[in-house]
Amino acid sequence: MLRGGVIMDVVNPEQAKIAEDSGAVAVMALERVPSDIRRDGGVARMSDPQMIKEIQASVTIPVMAKARIGHFAEAQILQALDVDYIDESEVLTPADEENHIDKWGFTVPFVCGATNLGEALRRIGEGACLIRSKGEAGTGNVVEAVRHLRTINAQMRRLQSADAAELFALAKDLQAPLPLVQEVAATGKLPVPLFCAGGISTPADAALVLQLGAEAVFVGSGIFKSEDPVRMAKAIVEATTHFEDAAVVARVSTGLGEAMRGAETTSLEVRLAERGW
Amino acid sequence: MPRVGVLALQGDVREHVSMLEELDVNVVRVRHPEDLDGLDAMVLPGGESTTIAYLLNTSGIRPVLEEKIRAGFSVLGTCAGLILLSSEILGGRSDQWCFSALDVAVRRNGYGRQIASFESPVEVVGIGSVPGVFIRAPKIERCGDDVEVLATLDHGDGAHPVLVRQANVWGCAFHPELTSDSRVHQLFTDSL
């Protein structure tokens, strides 16, 4: 059951073992972490099945892998490899600038990113069964993750305060399927779990986004680009469990060494969060 | 009214809490050893067993809970919780520990990876058919003589136990908390 916890980006079986030993609930198998993708440029694609298989063989926890937005053939390959979840991810170079993958055609569950409620509901309408707020991957800067989470939450509150007649126009504004808009208005939450990704690089970042309503966190570059990945991984796992207990978060934050260097998002050449439609 | 804890380190804690709240019990989320004080019983939820095992150690809950279970404290483990309560873990990590409270051997992901997850009705002794949600579920491959089998399921390779009990310790391979049917929880709380 994927409820709560930390999903860690790993690029080889050794990192996958470290993630599992540190209490990760799942690993994301990819060839380069987002900060390296950002640095290297070029086209970022699905990982080599060989490395995905090696990571699957090295851990007992679920293994996720990324497909490019709209690249359903990559997703078919990942499903054939028996990955546990597919992330249709803006971190990779999009393959289709209009359409996302029709996820109803697959049996493997999909996770998709969103910057706002309309985007989240469009992905759910296409069959996503987990949503992660996008943040800005590879920056080590939590500001965009906070923006996206707060936006999604604020838009859900707005739906809850609307009367039934207003929901039609709100669905139009959100560009989201009306039945899903009506469901959110009635329940006050997404019909699927809401996780958080993009820029989380310290235990305090994890505690922040969990208190803002995320149920779990994806940590990409934040662990294996830090000074002491093992300690950082364990600290973020503990902070995610005890996110409301500042004494625990303070203890695990103490003497961690340097977090990943990070980037100011206003100076970025490429904003990954803008990929997806 | 019994006080029932839900181990709240990782997993489907919220679902267990809301299901127990429908029954006649006080529900307590357990994140620290002292949260166990005054509890009559506890639920170990589904989640990642390696993650929960890790956090049981870091939180200091493991030795306190171990002692209480040995002293007759009632526990119900679902999915990952069953793995933690078992005596032998097959197909897991070689260094994965368990409470050895339930004399069963379980195979992690015994019914397959995420993609092989399934739903099937389960016939439970005394309460009838309940909906069974199996997500990367552990398979009980051996059961000791003192273990009472309350339900079995044949998922194509012969019948295996999916709900078992040994005195105060209950194990469930599926996720009753993910349905709207609270009868498995009721069966457990009625035993308190």
ipTM (interface pTM): 0.91
User: Measured between CA atoms, how close is B95 to chain A, in angstroms?
Assistant: 10
B91–A25 CB contact, under 8 Å? no
φ, ψ at B129 (rounded to 5°) = -80, 130
B14–A3 CB contact, under 8 Å? yes
Cα distance between residue A250 and residue A244, in whole Å: 11
The mean of the pLDDT values for chain B is: 95
* DSSP reduced 3-state for B64: helix
Cα distance between residue A24 and residue B78, in whole Å: 20
Q: Is residue A92 within 8 Å of A75, Cβ to Cβ? A: no
Cα distance between residue A194 and residue A191, in whole Å: 9
- For residues A124 and A32, which has the higher predicted lDDT (pLDDT)? A124
Give the confidence band of A262 by pLDDT, cuts at 50, 70, 90. confident
Q: Tell whether the model's pLDDT for residue A161 goes beyond 90.
A: yes
The stretch B23-35 carries a mean pLDDT of: 96
Give the confidence band of A172 by pLDDT, cuts at 50, 70, 90. very high
pLDDT at residue number A261: 82
- For residues B6 and B96, which has the higher predicted lDDT (pLDDT)? B6
Cβ of residue A34 closer than 8 Å to a chain B Cβ: no
> Closest-CA residue in chain A for B45?
A1
For chain A, percent of residues with pLDDT exceeding 70: 100
- B171 closest CA partner among B182, B163, B159: B163
Chain A residues with CB under 8 Å of B47 CB are 1, 3-5, 25
* Interface residue ranges in chain B relative to chain A, Cβ cutoff 8 Å: 9-15, 31, 45-48, 50-51, 54-55, 58-59, 79-80, 91-93, 96, 108-109, 113-115, 135-136, 175, 178
Q: What is the pLDDT of residues A204-261, one digit of tens each?
A: 999 999 999 999 999 988 999 999 999 999 999 999 999 999 999 999 999 998 888 8
Q: Is residue A137 within 8 Å of A198, Cβ to Cβ? A: yes
Residue B50 CB partners (closer than 8 Å, separation 6+):
A20, A23, A60, A61, B92, B93, B96
Residue to mutate among A53, A60, A238, with most B CBs inside 10 A, is A60
Cβ of residue A246 closer than 8 Å to a chain B Cβ: no
Q: Is residue B74 within 8 Å of B188, Cβ to Cβ? A: yes
Mark which residues 37-56 of A lie under 8 Å from B by CB: none
The strand pairing partners of B143, in sequence order, are B104
The mean of the pLDDT values for chain A is: 95
Chain B residues with CB under 8 Å of A20 CB are 50, 93
Residues constituting chain B: 192
Cα distance between residue A78 and residue A67, in whole Å: 8
The strand pairing partners of A67, in sequence order, are A88
Q: Which two tokens stand for residue A10?
A: 């790993």
B12–A108 CB contact, under 8 Å? no
pLDDT at residue number A266: 77
The stretch A142-155 carries a mean pLDDT of: 97
The stretch A173-178 carries a mean pLDDT of: 98
Q: What is the pLDDT of residues B130-184, one digit of tens each?
A: 999 999 999 999 999 999 999 999 999 999 999 999 999 999 999 999 999 999 9
Q: Please confirm, yes or no, whether B79 is among the known catalytic residues.
A: yes
Q: Tell whether the model's pLDDT for residue B31 goes beyond 80.
A: yes
| H runs (alpha helix) in A105-177 | 117-125, 143-161, 166-174
Give the confidence band of A31 by pLDDT, cuts at 50, 70, 90. confident
pLDDT at residue number B24: 86
Ordered domains of chain B (ranges, CATH)? 3-190 (3.40.50.880)
The stretch A33-41 carries a mean pLDDT of: 87
Q: Which two tokens stand for residue B158?
A: 């012969």
Cβ of residue A111 closer than 8 Å to a chain B Cβ: no
**Catalytic-labelled residue, pool A66, A134, A225, A234:** A66
Cα distance between residue A256 and residue A49, in whole Å: 34
Chain A residues with CB under 8 Å of B178 CB are 1
User: Measured between CA atoms, how close is A270 to chain B, in angstroms?
Assistant: 34
Query: CA distances (Å), B139 to each of A35, A91, A100, in order?
Result: 40, 37, 36
**Catalytic-labelled residue, pool B79, B98, B143, B172:** B79
Out of B11, B109, B114, closest to residue A4 by CB: B11
pLDDT at residue number A259: 86
The stretch A8-18 carries a mean pLDDT of: 96
pLDDT at residue number B60: 97
Give the confidence band of B95 by pLDDT, cuts at 50, 70, 90. confident
Give the confidence band of B79 by pLDDT, cuts at 50, 70, 90. very high
Q: Tell whether the model's pLDDT for residue B92 goes beyond 90.
A: no
Give the confidence band of B68 by pLDDT, cuts at 50, 70, 90. very high
Cβ atoms < 10 Å from Cβ of B150? 21
Verdict on whether the full-model pTM lies above 0.90:
yes
Query: CA distances (Å), B52 to each of A23, A273, B49, in order?
Result: 8, 32, 5
Give the confidence band of A35 by pLDDT, cuts at 50, 70, 90. confident
pLDDT at residue number A1: 58
User: Measured between CA atoms, how close is A121 to chain B, in angstroms?
Assistant: 22
Question: What strands lie across the sheet with B74-78, from one edge to the other?
Answer: B26-30, B3-7, B41-44, B74-78, B169-172, B159-166, B148-154
For chain A, percent of residues with pLDDT exceeding 90: 86
